[in-house]
Amino acid sequence: MKFTALLFPVAVLGAACPYGPGSFEPEKETDTRGVCPMLNALANHGFLPRNGRNINENQTVTALNTALNLTPDFGRFLFTAARLSNPKPNSTWFNLDHLDRHNLFEHDGSLSRQDAYFGQWSRFNETVWNWTMDYWTGDILDVQIIANGRAQRSMRSNLTNPDFAISELGNAFSYGENAAILSILGDKVTETCPKIFADYLFRNERLPYAVGWQKSKIPIEMNDLRNTIHSILNATAFPPLPPPDNSFDVFN
Ligand code: HEM
């Protein structure tokens, strides 16, 4: 991925197809949005239905492939999670706000959303985001910074939210979303992402073309995300203890 500013092609793209997929229009009051900043952005760009409703597998796979270069297999996998969040059993579609169902995939300790215990939990929250940014020390996010940011949100929820809970699935999603910042929004090879890309995406729910982002030139598979999840898991087990020093016993 090239990290230079690429304002010109964006302007051209926008001018060439003002209403087609790719052009940004902020959500309207009648549109539906939800917890996922990336899916919200894809709807704002028209890669997904702009109203955020009745999204089927084909639309999801095509949007994730066209906008982000996710492989169709990966897209189908993600769609399965999405459609399972539709409260209607055996659904073949979902609305973006179906993803808000607390403690299904949506979980406490998000990077930019407050825990459901404290109130509205599905939309961007400036205070929560600033907590994350405090731990995102450096202009380039790497595995350790992302691990630190994720861990502080869990710790803060654990300390302040009496209802704090996270299921195995929620935990996996939490690692997965954090990994997605590096391997989908950033560069899956180096497992890094310019902080400005994430900040722009989260705040504006808009793909960060204006600050130099381009979709990955190489296709992104589920395995790429898995690798980065493992990197983050390892980096969350903060520096291992030094080997035991048996030359003295501090308790005697
Ligand atoms: C069909 C595809 C997708 C589904 C079903 C989905 C679902 C979700 C859900 C349920 C959440 C809320 C988790 C929470 O409680 O914080 C979420 C958050 C998130 N998603 Fe997605 N997502 C999808 C695609 C993507 C893609 C392609 C990216 C790429 C960058 C992405 C990035 C994120 C990030 C970074 C968050 C964390 C938000 C936060 O912690 O504040 N998602 N997504």
- Structure confidence by residue, pLDDT tens digits, 143-167: 999 999 999 999 999 999 999 999 9
Distance in Å, CA 39 to ligand 1 centroid:
7
Distance in Å, CA 36 to ligand 1 centroid:
4
* Terminal Cα distance for the chain, rounded: 57
pLDDT at 250: 54
pLDDT at 237: 82
Q: What contacts 35, CB < 8 A, 6 or more positions away?
A: 99, 100, 106, 110, 113, 121, 122, 123
Amino acid at 155: M
What are the chain's domains?
Answer: 7-236 (1.10.489.10)
- Structure confidence by residue, pLDDT tens digits, 162-218: 999 999 999 999 999 999 999 999 999 999 999 999 999 999 999 999 999 999 999
Nearest CA, atom 11, ligand 1: 36
* Phi-psi map region of 191: left, alpha, beta (phi>0 left; psi -120 to 50 alpha): left
For residue 104, the ligand 1 atom closest to its alpha carbon is 10
* Burial class of residue 181 (count of CB atoms within 10 Å of its CB; 0-12, 13-18, 19+): buried
The conformation of residue 210, written as its DSSP 8-state character, comes to G
Of the pLDDT bands very low, low, confident and very high (cuts 50, 70, 90), residue 244 is confident
Nearest C-alpha neighbor of 235 from the set 227, 245, 243: 227
Q: Is the CB of 112 under 6 A from ligand 1?
A: yes
Nearest CA, atom 35, ligand 1: 177
Is the confidence at residue 74, as pLDDT, over 80? yes
